[in-house]
Amino acid sequence: MKYKVAVIPGDGIGPEVTEQAVNVLNAVGEKFNHKFEYTYAKAGGCAIDEFKTTALPEETLDICKASDAVLLGAVGGPKWDDTKAKVRPEQALLGLRGGLNLYCNLRPAMLYKQLKDASPLKDRIIGDGIDVLVVRELTGGIYFGERELLTKENGEEVARDTEQYSTSEVKRIAKIAFDSAMKRNKKVTSVDKANILESSRLWRRVVEEVAKDYPEVTLEHLYVDNTSMQLVRDPRQFDVILTSNMFGDILSDEASMITGSIGMLPSASLGDNSFGLYEPIHGSAPDIAGKDLANPLATILSVAMMLRYSFGLNAEADSIENAVSKVLDTEYRTGDIMSEGKVKVGTKKMGELVVSNL
């Protein structure tokens, strides 16, 4: 079969990690006799540099729409960090997520047993690991609500962002969380701030309604502040974490760290059909960009998610995940997952190791 993949390398380490992920995808194609056809497109800071007035050119969105799936590296960086700028790299992400109606963001946080020594919780983790799925709502909430910067008559500036959720928005993401839990350990933790936010109280009510269709799944509600503490205290209590756009962003970075590094966490952004956007959860890491230091595994694992969710190629996805695990059985580590007695390798070498273990 032939699959059309839009590739958006983006900024910072984005091009470095996507290059390795594309190499892995090509190797999978050779092994299993599939053809992956790539169309490269610009978004983020590099697009602002070229097009000036937008971080997401129309052409990029069109290329994505004409593809079966999108692979994205990361966007942003200090060069474009002016807080007064009207055009910012991160707007490209919202444009893609909103423009492609990708309301469901799956962020699996798995601790590979080989990386236990790289986790800050290594002395507190009993058994082999952590396996949490963060189901993050991706096209609503405060990211997409009304925002405004005003200057009052007295010259003071006032800025406003709005958190807003509708019943249908909560319902569709909650269903995905419960469906996921049915295939996992049958527990959903819905995370909100219902002790203060009206939008969270609606969220809670809708989640309770959806839960009625899943009698086998245990539902618990936790406040986001408690959740962030519980994730460090005992991450093994979680199976599926269902939460809003902003809370999911924050909690997934936290979850990534307890699994060793943000360089390990992939993500899938999905909508109503098989089309999806796949990206590591990390950003453009300007501090290590261009130095062959970035861990490409999060992006490589994102490609595995693409094979599974957009193309239904489960054996192919397994082969990537197994290859990553085999590499971690060896002594080779990128800097972010280094521990005593291991051998440090760069982005390229890590990518090559995955390819050779396929």
Ligand X SMILES: NC(=O)c1ccc[n+]([C@@H]2O[C@H](COP(=O)([O-])OP(=O)(O)OC[C@H]3O[C@@H](n4cnc5c(N)ncnc54)[C@H](O)[C@@H]3O)[C@@H](O)[C@H]2O)c1
Q: Which residues are catalytic?
A: 143, 193, 225, 249, 253
As a whole number of angstroms, the distance between CA 125 and CA 259 comes to 11
- What does 284 bind: ligand IPM, ligand X, Mg ion, none (CB cut-off 5 to 8 Å by kind)? ligand X
* Stretch (H or E) spanning 99: helix 91-99
Binding mask 87-116 for ligand IPM (x = CB under 6 A): ---x--x-----------------------
Do residues 262 and 282 lie in contact, with contact meaning Cβ atoms separated by under 8 Å? yes
Residue placing its CB nearer to ligand IPM in the complex, 16 or 316: 16
Do residues 231 and 111 lie in contact, with contact meaning Cβ atoms separated by under 8 Å? no
Kindly state the DSSP code that residue 49 receives in the 8-state scheme. H
Q: Which of residues 298-327 bind Mg ion (CB under 5 A)?
A: none
- What does 9 bind: Mg ion, ligand X, ligand IPM, none (CB cut-off 5 to 8 Å by kind)? none
Counting residues that bind ligand IPM (by CB under 6 A) gives 6
Q: What interhelical angle do 58-65 and 91-99 show, nearest 10?
A: 40
Helix (H, G, I), strand (E, B) or coil at 7: strand
Do residues 304 and 314 lie in contact, with contact meaning Cβ atoms separated by under 8 Å? no
Of residues 68, 249, 321, 336, which one binds ligand IPM by CB under 6 A? 249
CA distances 259 to 58, 116, 267, 330, Å, are 37, 8, 15, 18
Q: Is 254 in the site for ligand IPM (CB under 6 A)?
A: no
As a whole number of angstroms, the distance between CA 212 and CA 230 comes to 26
Residue placing its CB nearer to ligand X in the complex, 270 or 298: 298
Q: Which residues bind ligand X (CB under 6 A)?
A: 13, 17, 74-77, 90, 93, 262-263, 279, 282-288, 294-295, 298, 336
Of 71, 1, 61, nearest in space to 33 by CA: 1
Q: Give the shortest CB-123-to-Mg ion separation in angstroms.
A: 27
Side-chain half-sphere CA neighbours of 270 within 13 A: 20
Identify the residue whose tokens are 């527990």. 187
Structure tokens at 76: 């942003």
- What does 199 bind: ligand IPM, ligand X, Mg ion, none (CB cut-off 5 to 8 Å by kind)? none
As a whole number of angstroms, the distance between CA 82 and CA 179 comes to 42
Residue placing its CB nearer to ligand IPM in the complex, 179 or 254: 254
Q: Give the shortest CB-277-to-ligand X separation in angstroms.
A: 10
Binding mask 231-270 for Mg ion (x = CB under 5 A): ------------------x---------------------
Residue placing its CB nearer to ligand IPM in the complex, 28 or 263: 263
Q: Give the shortest CB-281-to-ligand IPM separation in angstroms.
A: 5
Which spans of this chain sit near Mg ion (rule: CB under 5 A)? 249
